[in-house]
Amino acid sequence: MTAPGLLVTAPTNGFRLRGKLVMMTLCMTLAMAVIFAAMAYSQVRATVRHAATDRLGDIARHQSEQIADVLEQTAIDATVFAGLPPVREIVQRDKISDGGDVQPGSLKAQRKHRLQEIFRSILTTRPHYTQLRFIGQADNWRERVRVGRHEDHINAVDTADLQAKGGEPYLKDLVRQAAGHGYFSTVTYNREHGIEVGPPTIRYVQPVLDEEGALYGVIVVNADFQALITAARPTVSEGFRLGVVTGLGDHMTFSADDSRPKLFYHSDPDFIPPPHDVEIASKAGPGQIFFAGDVAMAANAVVTPQLNRPFGLYVVTEMPRDALFAAANKMLVRNAVVAFVLIFLAIGIAGIFGAHLTDPLLQLADAVRRHAGAKPFDLMVSTNDEIGELTLAFASLGNQLLGQTLRARAIRSMEVAWASPLSKSMSSLRAGVLR
C-alpha cells in the first residue's frame, strides 16, 4: 500500500546491481585485453618479422657467397692462366717474330704443349669447365691453344682444327672493357663452327696484354652454366627455395628435395620466365626483403650488370609468407588464450566482490519484503562501506518510522479506550436530565 499521490512501479526485467558490476568488469577487462593483445601482437609481429627477415637475409647472403665463390674461382683461374709462363712466352716470341726473328717450330709446339697440359690438369679438377682456350687477336681472333671436354674425355685440339672466333658475341664486349679487366659473358649455347653444340655455357674472358700493355688476345674459360651453379652446392633448408636468375631470365630453382634442378634457358621452346623477375632486378641488394603474393623473397646480385658488362646474376631466396610470421601468429593465439583466461578470472572475482558488496542491500530488500507487525528491522551488516552505511541508515529510518507508527497507534488505542466510557456517562446524564 502506498501513500496517495505516489506511484511505485517495479521494473519487470533487467540486470541486478551484481550483474551490472560483473558486466562492467567484463567490458573493461575485455577492452583492456583486446588493446594489450593488439599492442603485444604488433610488437611481437614487428620483432618476429625483423628476426625472420634477418634470417632470410642471412641465408640469402650465405647462398650468394657460395655461388659467388665458384664464379670468383673461375675468374682467378683465368687471371692465373693469363700470366702463365707458356702464355707470356708465346706473346713475347710472337712480338719478336713480327720483328723478323723466326723461332723454331719445335719451340712453338713445346710452349703450346706445356699450356695444353696445364689446361688438361685444370679440366680434370674442375668438372664444370668444358673448355679452356687461349685466343689471339690476330687472324680474326683465332684460337692458339684449346683443350676441351667431350663426354668423359679431355682432349687438346689439333692446330688444323682451331677456329676463328671473331664473330662470337662474348668477344664483342672487349672494346668496352678497361685494359686487362676480365668479365663474364651472357649465357649462350656453345658454338662450334657456327653451330650450337653442347649445353648453355657461361664464359669468363680474361684479356692478355703484351709487354707494352696492348691487347694481344684473351683467355676464355667455358663452363656449363647449370653444372657451375650446381658446383656451388647451395644448401637449402626445409621450407626455403633458392633461385638463380640471370639478367636475360635464365633460371634454376633449388629446394631441399631437388639439388640439381632444371635450367630454363631463355631461347628454349619450353622456357618459362622466372616469377617476379622484374622485382628481382629492381630490388636486389643486401638486406632487401620484399613480398610477392604469399612469398617472402630476398634477392642479392652476385654479378651486377653494367654498360660494359651486360651479364647479371642474381640469387633469390624464398620462403612462404605464412612461415615468416608463424611465430607471431603462434604468439597471438597464446595471448588470446591467456586473455580469455584472465577475462573469466576477472568475471569470477567481480562476481564474488559484487555479491559481497550488494549483500546488505539484498538483506534490506528481503527484510522489507518479509516485514510484518511491530518487529523492528534487525540486520547484520558485515561491510563497512557506503552500501553498508546506506543499509543501516535505511534500517534506522525504518525503525524510527516504525516507532512513530507504534506510538501513534498506542495513542489512538488510548483515545478509543477512554472515549467509550465517557460516551456512556454522557448518555446517562442526558437521559436523567430529560426525565
CB atoms within 10 A of CB 68: 18
* Confidence class for position 349, pLDDT limits 50, 70, 90: confident
Residues 386-413 have a mean pLDDT of 69
Residues 14-42 have a mean pLDDT of 67
120 and 212 belong to one structural domain: yes
Q: Which pLDDT does position 275 carry in this prediction?
A: 77
Q: Which pLDDT does position 1 carry in this prediction?
A: 42
CATH number, domain containing residue 220 = 3.30.450.20
pLDDT digits (tens, 9 = 90+) for 54-96: 777 787 788 888 889 999 999 999 999 999 999 999 998 877 6
SS3 190: strand
Task: Name beta bridge partners: 147.
Answer: 132, 156
290 and 338 belong to one structural domain: no
pTM listed for this prediction: 0.67
Cα 255–Cα 259–Cα 264 angle in degrees, nearest 5? 80
pLDDT digits (tens, 9 = 90+) for 287-337: 567 777 777 888 888 888 776 677 888 888 888 877 776 766 676 677 777
Contact 145, 167 (CB under 8 A): no
130 and 57 belong to one structural domain: no
Cα 371 from Cα 392, distance rounded (Å) = 16
Residues 351-364 have a mean pLDDT of 66
128 and 222 belong to one structural domain: yes
Q: Which pLDDT does position 152 carry in this prediction?
A: 82
Q: Which pLDDT does position 221 carry in this prediction?
A: 97
- Does residue 427 belong to any structural domain of this protein? no
Identify which has the larger pLDDT, 13 or 50: 50
Residue 206 has pLDDT above 90, yes or no: yes
Residues 261-289 have a mean pLDDT of 76
- Does residue 2 belong to any structural domain of this protein? no
Domain end residue (candidates: 186, 210, 229) = 229
Strands 313-320 and 241-246: antiparallel
CB atoms within 10 A of CB 94: 17
- Does residue 9 belong to any structural domain of this protein? no
How far is the first Cα of the chain from the last one, in angstroms, to the nearest whole number? 51
225 and 132 belong to one structural domain: yes
DSSP-assigned letters across all residues of 64-86: HHHHHHHHHHHHHHHHHHHT-HH
Identify which has the larger pLDDT, 52 or 315: 315
Residue in this structure with the C-alpha cell 527484510, named with its chain if needed: 367
Of 70-79, 164-173, 249-258, 389-398, which gets the smallest average pLDDT? 389-398
Domain end residue (candidates: 321, 343, 372) = 321
Q: Which domain holds residue 176?
A: 83-229
30 and 52 belong to one structural domain: no
54 and 30 belong to one structural domain: no
Q: What percent of the chain has pLDDT over 70?
A: 66
In the DSSP assignment, the letter for residue 174 is G
Number of domains the chain is built from: 3
237 and 361 belong to one structural domain: no
Q: Which pLDDT does position 340 carry in this prediction?
A: 74
* Confidence class for position 41, pLDDT limits 50, 70, 90: low
104 and 217 belong to one structural domain: yes
Residue 223 has pLDDT above 90, yes or no: yes
406 and 364 belong to one structural domain: yes
- Does residue 213 belong to any structural domain of this protein? yes
Residue in this structure with the C-alpha cell 649445353, named with its chain if needed: 199
Residues 111-129 have a mean pLDDT of 94
92 and 214 belong to one structural domain: yes
Cα 321 from Cα 308, distance rounded (Å) = 37
* Confidence class for position 386, pLDDT limits 50, 70, 90: low
Q: Which pLDDT does position 9 carry in this prediction?
A: 44
203 and 111 belong to one structural domain: yes
Of residues 225, 182, 229, the one with CA closest to residue 64: 229
Residue 238 has pLDDT above 80, yes or no: no
Domain end residue (candidates: 321, 336, 356) = 321
* Confidence class for position 178, pLDDT limits 50, 70, 90: low
pLDDT digits (tens, 9 = 90+) for 94-115: 776 655 455 556 777 888 999 9
E-assigned strand segments in 210-259: 215-224, 241-246, 251-255
Q: What share of the chain is helix, strand, coil (3-state, %, to 5)?
A: 50, 20, 25
Contact 242, 67 (CB under 8 A): no
- Does residue 76 belong to any structural domain of this protein? no
- Does residue 210 belong to any structural domain of this protein? yes
Cell numbers standing for residue 204: 669468363
Cα 232 from Cα 115, distance rounded (Å) = 27
- Does residue 402 belong to any structural domain of this protein? yes
Amino acid letter, residue 41: Y
DSSP-assigned letters across all residues of 98-160: HTT-PPPHHHHHHHHHHHHHHHHHHHHH-TTEEEEEEEESHHHHBEEEEEEEETTEEEEPPGG
Of residues 261, 257, 259, the one with CA closest to residue 245: 261
- Does residue 424 belong to any structural domain of this protein? no
Contact 245, 221 (CB under 8 A): no
